[in-house]
């Protein structure tokens, strides 16, 4: 028998105002990847901001502020192991291919910053159906 943990908050109580404003601003969220735990995190606030994780499927979790219940980020678990292999276009953008010449450290930084925005947009788009299944309309970064 599988144990289930009670939810601290019903997903219907979570708010998307900050997330929608950030997406509309056309500024990509901050992007973090932790290879030790194989997780990606997109945040529209500082990393040290207090947050609660609310899983909505096997990979996708919403990150929200405890006091306001505003969504401030996304977390994707098992990113390279099982999330990434499901999406060919995301896989292509996750790799720094040889099609873009990297001559020095400056080129690398430019390439990484550009790819962060592309990958953040794709991840927010891929998380949207999981959010819709729990009744949430999650804005996509463009």
pLDDT tens figures, 21-64: 999 998 889 999 999 999 999 999 999 999 999 999 999 999 99
pLDDT at residue 1 tops 70: no
Q: Count Cβ neighbours within 10 Å for each residue of 41-62 and write b for 16 or more, e otherwise.
A: bbbbbeeeeebeebbbeebbbb
Going from N- to C-terminal start, the domains of the chain cover 11-133
User: What's residue 99's pLDDT?
Assistant: 61
User: What's residue 84's pLDDT?
Assistant: 96
Using DSSP bridges, classify how beta strands 52-55 and 71-76 pair: parallel, antiparallel or unpaired: unpaired
pLDDT at residue 2 tops 80: no
The per-residue pLDDT for range 119-132, each reduced to its tens digit, is 999 999 999 999 99
**Alpha carbon distance 43, 90 (integer Å):** 19
Q: What residue spans of the chain are helical by DSSP H?
A: 17-24, 88-94, 105-133
Q: How far is CA 131 from the centre of its chain?
A: 12
Q: How confident is the model at residue 81 (pLDDT cuts 50, 70, 90)?
A: very high
Residue 28: how many CB atoms within 10 A of its CB? 21
Q: Residues with Cβ < 8 Å from 49, sequence gap 6 or more?
A: 43, 65, 72
DSSP 95: S
Q: How confident is the model at residue 141 (pLDDT cuts 50, 70, 90)?
A: confident
DSSP percent split of the chain into helix, strand, coil, nearest 5: 40, 20, 40
């Amino acid at each position: 028998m599988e144990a289930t943990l009670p939810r601290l908050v019903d997903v219907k109580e979570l708010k998307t105002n900050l997330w929608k404003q950030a997406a509309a601003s056309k500024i990509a969220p901050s992007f973090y990847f932790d290879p030790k735990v194989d997780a990606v995190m997109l945040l529209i606030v500082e990393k040290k901001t207090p947050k609660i994780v609310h899983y909505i499927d096997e990979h996708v979790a919403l990150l929200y502020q405890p006091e306001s219940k505003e969504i401030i980020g996304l977390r994707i678990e098992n990113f390279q192991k099982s999330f990434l292999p499901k999406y060919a276009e995301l896989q292509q953008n996750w790799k720094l291919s040889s099609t873009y010449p990297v001559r020095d450290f400056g080129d690398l930084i430019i390439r990484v910053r550009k790819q962060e925005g592309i990958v953040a947009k794709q991840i927010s788009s891929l998380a949207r159906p999981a959010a819709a299944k729990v009744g949430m309309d999650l804005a996509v970064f463009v």
